[in-house]
A and B are shown apart, each in its own frame.
Chain A
């Protein structure tokens, strides 16, 4: 029976679930976009703060969830990302859609899916969280009804995600058949008693990798990413790029580190191929993109590939590097999509790189922020992206996975080109055809403020990372 202490442990999740229901009921009473937005912001903030009230240590909640430092760290990360996305959505939705309030229910619910996923310790809870996350995302992606591209990408995501979920379920069933357990510790125990991996287990694991790889958009399963990023509204794309991928990555770490699935040579090789392919193809395909959202989509594929390098190191250092890089990636992606939202107008989003031509001469501060974001994503020194990549490299070289390390360096080199292209366009001469007479959506408050904050964070982590690293070092050893 779940006791009150158990409820205390899942406080952030409870807050978000309750907030979603309150928002829904408040819409029934009276529609007010400002109130809904503020309330969503407050609940995300409360969820992040409530983590402080969870006692230290590792606790199991009814054998399906485990609340430990790692889970708490990701809970805070996801709640903060949700907070930022809510802030950015306000003016965007005001300008582009009449009926905005339901958006926040869906946003809260899919964040809830992510929040329960990062503390999942069991395939049942993982699958349920994944479905909560994706089902709300289907509707979020197709939310803007006047955009045919949005509906199209919503349906694409629905079909593809359903197929990947069925793969995942079949894989889980095969693993259950072999080990007789669905909880990760039980699977680990079942594996260590049988000694060698059987064919059924590897087949099951492979199908789970298909499901997880789809959600993280790793290379053989990445085809949906650019279309969905380009079709969905920019705040939702930001959500897909950060929260959805980050939560699945957190579960991936938990799954493979606590069951020891990576100790099998075949599984390790499969992941190596996936990582190499993601790094190379992600950066390669981004080179020719003119659409900034597609460019960010391919870049995010590359970034997830970088993360896999640290994941494959299977050390504490690797885990810390991955966690640090994920935080940097969250900050960078949120700021990048934030800039896209800022530059959008009532008619549409600032999708093409040419829309940013000469931005520096019109809005120098925004151009400075966007430049820093691009440099951080590319991994230039003095930004957080550089240090993140440095940690990934040291994690890789420590255990001598040279192939991955070399590919990481090479693909970062390729990546530099398209990030700098965007920067160069911003500093180029003024835009001759001032076609976009519509004013941009972005306002100084709250939009400019939150972008500035993310910009400062990128610099702060880049110059003085030890503040973040100390926290990460405390949590990273807990997961084993």
Chain B
């Protein structure tokens, strides 16, 4: 058993276990902490695939920036067990049934999947290196790359529009005047 394989199994088990714990944890703060662990495990997978850049970005952006934000929001919202709304028992049952059906279908589908076409190139692929990634992004994928920047623009504008405080009466009067002109 090579060291790569051992690492792969370790990271996979870690990722799956932490992902399950994200859902299972009662306390949302614990969920977020488990989620950070998931991201670290996935970054480890990226490293095994020789995609150092993706691994670093994943840790910096997701595990670092986004999860800290998440943590802050959850702590500010002060979610306790007491103010959690009571769920309907039948709704729970329906959710379990629906999710279980989906799981069953996916497991059945994946059981018969051919694995020969899906071998990963551990350590040999060079798609994830920063040079190749940059080349791909700015040649073949330049239009979608620009579209994703538009996506951020629309998210930003949307957030500002929804989040902005109602303007005070005097500024509202001004904007009203300017629209009348």
Interface of A toward B, CB cutoff 8 Å: 1-2, 10, 17, 20-21, 24, 30-34, 61-65, 94, 98-100, 102, 105-106, 109-110, 112-113, 116, 124-125, 128-129, 131-132, 135-136, 138-140, 142-143, 145, 154, 174, 177-178, 180, 198-200, 202-203, 206
Contacts and interface: CB of A to CB of B under 8 A. Distances in A.
Contacts of A61: 143
A199 B144 contact: no
B118 A177 contact: yes
In the A-B complex, list the 9 residue pairs whose CB atoms are closest, starting with the nearest: A139-B158, A199-B109, A33-B179, A203-B109, A109-B154, A136-B154, A102-B161, A200-B109, A200-B113
Contacts of B113: 177-178, 198-200
A112 B150 contact: yes
Nearest to A179: B117
8 contacts: A2-B142, A20-B150, A32-B178, A33-B179, A65-B143, A106-B161, A110-B154, A206-B105
Contact of B154 (A106, A145, A174): A106
A34 B179 contact: yes
B154 A135 contact: yes
B167 A139 contact: no
A63 B142 CA distance: 11
B150 A17 contact: yes
Nearest to A155: B162
A177 B106 CA distance: 13
A102 B175 contact: no
A64 B114 contact: no
B50 to A, nearest CB: 19
B143 A135 contact: no
B16 interface: no
Interface in B92-108: 105-106, 108
Please indicate which of the listed interface residues A34, A125, A200 has the most CB atoms of chain B within 10 Å of its own CB.
A200
Contacts of A145: 166
Q: Is the interface of B mostly helix, strand, loop or mixed?
A: helix
B147 A125 contact: yes
A131 B179 contact: no
Interface of B: 105-106, 108-110, 112-114, 117-118, 139-144, 146-148, 150-151, 153-155, 157-162, 166-167, 172, 175-176, 178-179, 181
Nearest to A138: B158
A112 B147 CA distance: 9
A135 B9 CA distance: 37
Nearest to B118: A177
Contacts of B148: 128
Given A99-B175, A125-B147, A62 B142 contact: yes
Contacts of A34: 179, 181
B141 A62 contact: yes
A430 B157 CA distance: 45
Given A106-B154, A136-B154, A32 B179 contact: yes
A64 B181 CA distance: 45
A143 B178 CA distance: 20
Contacts of B140: 62-64
Given A63-B140, A106-B154, A198-B113, A99 B147 contact: no
Contacts of A2: 139, 142-143
A203 B105 contact: yes
B175 A31 contact: yes
A125 B141 CA distance: 9
A230 B166 CA distance: 24
A243 B73 CA distance: 35
B175 to A, nearest CB: 6
